[in-house]
A = this chain, B = another copy of it.
């Protein structure tokens, strides 16, 4: 087995997708699958799939393929999904509220435990049964409550300040929805969801398709 740190980010990007497909197979009571069949479902080549899984030690057996449940659990373990993550949302506008209300990841151990905003009209209200706190109190809150992930849903101009406070307060990861790139310490993981970048890429491909047709 290779050293964990050596796994390329491209492989890491593919893991959640493998896991989603395996989850679907589990729900359909499929017990085992070959890399060839998995390839037909997921679109990567069978050799790519075998190579990806070899990164974590070979889970497959020649002539049998992969046990769906074991592989699903192994990937979940590698990704750190066998534990709970406490999350706090900074900024309870449209995006923050949607994330507070979005339950898809709750069952997977990601739990929103607190919400913060600067807006007086929001502070004290509840979203999905969680009270919105005054953003001024974020520092003291984090000093008293361990939070794993800070979710930044503020405006662009407040995002870096929010990130600084979250990092100073000991969060281990930042999930950033503000349309800008943040600077965080090396020991804090950062994942961006740049919605407008995604929409702009879509616009590019729409225009390319129109030129071709």
Contact = CB atoms under 8 A, between A and B. Distances in A.
Interface of A: 4-5, 12-13, 15-17, 19-20, 42-43, 78-81, 85, 94-95, 97-98, 101-102, 104-105, 108, 110, 148-149, 172-173, 175, 179-181, 187-191, 193-213
A43 B148 CA distance: 27
B209 A172 contact: yes
A205 to B, nearest CB: 4
A205 B105 contact: no
Contacts of A20: 179-181, 196-197
B172 A189 contact: no
Number of this chain's copies in the assembly equals 2
Contacts of A172: 206, 209-210
A1 B26 CA distance: 50
Contacts of A42: 181
Given A79-B207, A173-B205, A191-B201, 5 more contacts: A12-B205, A15-B200, A20-B180, A95-B102, A149-B206
30 contacts: A12-B204, A12-B205, A13-B201, A16-B196, A17-B194, A17-B197, A19-B200, A42-B181, A78-B204, A80-B204, A80-B206, A81-B200, A94-B98, A94-B101, A95-B98, A104-B195, A104-B196, A105-B196, A110-B203, A148-B206, A149-B202, A149-B206, A172-B209, A173-B203, A175-B198, A187-B209, A189-B202, A189-B209, A191-B199, A191-B201
A209 B170 CA distance: 13
